[in-house]
Structure 1
Amino acid sequence: MSDWSDWIGREQRSADRLDEALAARWLATLDLGAPDGADMPQGIHFALCTPQAPTAMLGEDGHPARSDDPASLYPPIDLPRRMWAGSEITFLRPLALGDRIDKLSRVTSIEEKEGRSGRLAFLKLEHSISANTEAAIRETQTLVYRDASPSDSPLVPPEVTDSLFDPAAWDRVRTLAPSEALLFRFSALTFNTHRIHYDAPYAREVERYRGLVVHGPLISTLLLQLAADLVGPNALRSFAFTARSPAIAGDTLHLAVRQEGDTLDLAALNDAGELLTTASATPGGM
């Protein structure tokens, strides 16, 4: 087991502005109309204070190359594959056009485990986002690192051959097939250079995915949009999601939500009815 104690508590600050151009690109990417007033839809923070590593500093997978530089927020974990495993988000106030955005990111824990597929490392980050110096969003993000798959391993996930999804179990369902153009636009909006989202030969031949992988925060954004359709814009106090299995561009994706007492139960499922992402949300005044 590695000793990552020097990384616990490391911080990184960044700043941005929610301007009209970014807002227009966000709405266009998601096929949303302009909202009433200046408040933007929940989830737009994924496109603010994005990573800005120079192109020369990117590694083979498109992520910033790992380094033990004291200025680096991310530790040089010696496991080559990385994914966004989930987030727990608290919304304190809406983000509005013109807001100055400040973000403080802090490493809170690094834990190594042995899983069925080998070594895993879990990195937790706390993100505190303020708008015009007022606390707006708190997010705890979990990243997971794992070993590379063998070059001859089967492509994942397997193709779905039977349509078994049952919409009757949900209050509202939206069905779509995320396109390559949608993934490309979301990568551009969030400055996400991980090649599994736009480089199909790399995704298949190196990381052994069956196709381009739909971003976890993109699925979460679409689920937030579905929740807003049900309970209204900027109505959620909290939202948490966990990625369970990759969604592949072009495959049928069912986004679903149902009311469970005082909370919302949300999910993204494939055409076989298998859970790809699970989420929960709590409405509340903001």
Structure 2
Amino acid sequence: LFPDEYIHIGGDECFKGFWHKCPRCQARMKAENLKNEEELQSYFIHRMGDLLKSKGKKLVGWDEILEGGLAPDANVMSWRGMDGGIKSAKAGHHVIMTPTEHCYLDLYQGEPSVEPATYSMCRLKDSYSFNPVPEGVPAEMVLGGQGNVWGEAIPTFRHAEYMTWPRGWALAEVLWSGPAQTDWEKFRLRVERHFVRADQAGINYARSMNNAIVTPYLQDGVLEVELGSEIAETDIYYTFDNTDPDCFTPKYNKPLRIPKTASRLRVITYRDGKPVGKLITLTIKELEKRAESDKRTGHGNLTVELQAPNE
């Protein structure tokens, strides 16, 4: 069934509460002198590793397989940031770097209010800034990187394309060329040329990199809003009077204080005198909610963080 060298066994997000209540699991822990359920998982991973090795295969698992001790020949895919991969590589294990903040293509790629619902944030620029070989890690221990498009909130193949491109192009470039050879501005121009090719091929993609980034925050208890964009040459226009913004309405140049009479903020982006981003409309209550959330969680400039739809 599996002719290839590597077999991925998963091992992530394993809830151990049932093991704690399971008489057979507890008996196994006692027989094997295992201190806790983490060591029970490690015991299982070791057995899987030995089985695969006997068949001439190599085990790959998510970074949770580190918990309780890593099987000798295991290869680790690091998704909860880079730390698991760094720790594994320094311990002599090959790793594949796939951290959520750069490689999870099922996440928001721009302003959430104009994107299909998902959770957390991974912008095009986040994917393009990915360095799969962090400082202090031997390059030969990093087998590569991987972009992930998980399907919990992706109902159609057409939408899977939308989530994959252009972030997939960003990961392809940094993984093939390496961070030392990347150039965001040149890449951004290539992306726009790729949009034309995608149109001709009937491939769906996202233009979210052109949308404004809306960051509300509390300054001395007063709500302020910072507007930005992933692309430096972008002009941002806004209104507070419920009219649609265009290049004749106020142009953003410094953080905004909300007028007392305002009920919503509307924002649009222009480049070379033409609109390029989606019209974003956010109520003042929504801005206040985001600012309070960022204050509590310390997300800073993260636009929004929501629960995953399956949680």
TM-score, length basis structure 1: 0.21
Larger Rg: 2
Q: Which has the higher helix share?
A: 2
Q: Give TM-score scaled by structure 2 length.
A: 0.20
Q: Which has the higher strand share?
A: 1
